[in-house]
Amino acid sequence: MYYLKNTLFLDLTKNQKSALFGFIKSFVKKHEQKTTEEILALFIEDEQYYYEQKNPHFEWIIPEFEKDSFLKELTVLINENKKQLALKEAQKPFIERQKALAKEQRKKAAEFKLSKQPPTKKQLYYYDMLCKKYKINQEPVENLSRLDLKNMIGKIIDEHDTGIKKI
């Protein structure tokens, strides 16, 4: 995509080119199921409509539609955007798998960190209050880590779930 910015629409200013590239990208994404020719025709039709309504996206583009070279470059840009969308869609399962693995790694790292730290006063107090509330014998909490206490609290809550719907 980056090489296209250096080869297409050389007669446009930097701002015009940037605006056109961004708009075409979103336009192609919106009309992804259509063919390149249909997208090009829709784009031209939309721009002419907005020009007639005196609210164009690009004031300079209407005379450009008369040039064959401009239309060819626009077709190349639309095709490239369609390829980029197809590539992104093909990579989606891999990216989702990567995200799941990264989430799992963060969870393991957090648990490892918790396993090396002593429990907090809040955890100890909460565990004490849960044991009193559910009339459970407290286990000794000396030499336990934050992770151990977190798991114990979670176990108590799971066993004595009051039927409140979890969000």
Helices (H), 31-161: 36-52, 61-64, 68-115, 121-133, 146-159
pLDDT single digits (tens) 120-166? 999 999 999 999 988 888 888 888 999 999 999 998 888 887 655 44
Contact call for residues 143 and 118 (beta carbons, < 8 A) = no
CB atoms under 10 Å from CB of 57, counted, come to: 14
pLDDT reported for residue 163? 53
Q: Which of 4, 1, 3 is nearest to 73 (CA)?
A: 4
What single DSSP character describes residue 116?
Answer: T
pLDDT single digits (tens) 70-86? 999 999 999 999 999 99
Query: The pTM is what?
Result: 0.63
pLDDT single digits (tens) 32-62? 899 999 999 999 999 999 999 988 888 888 8
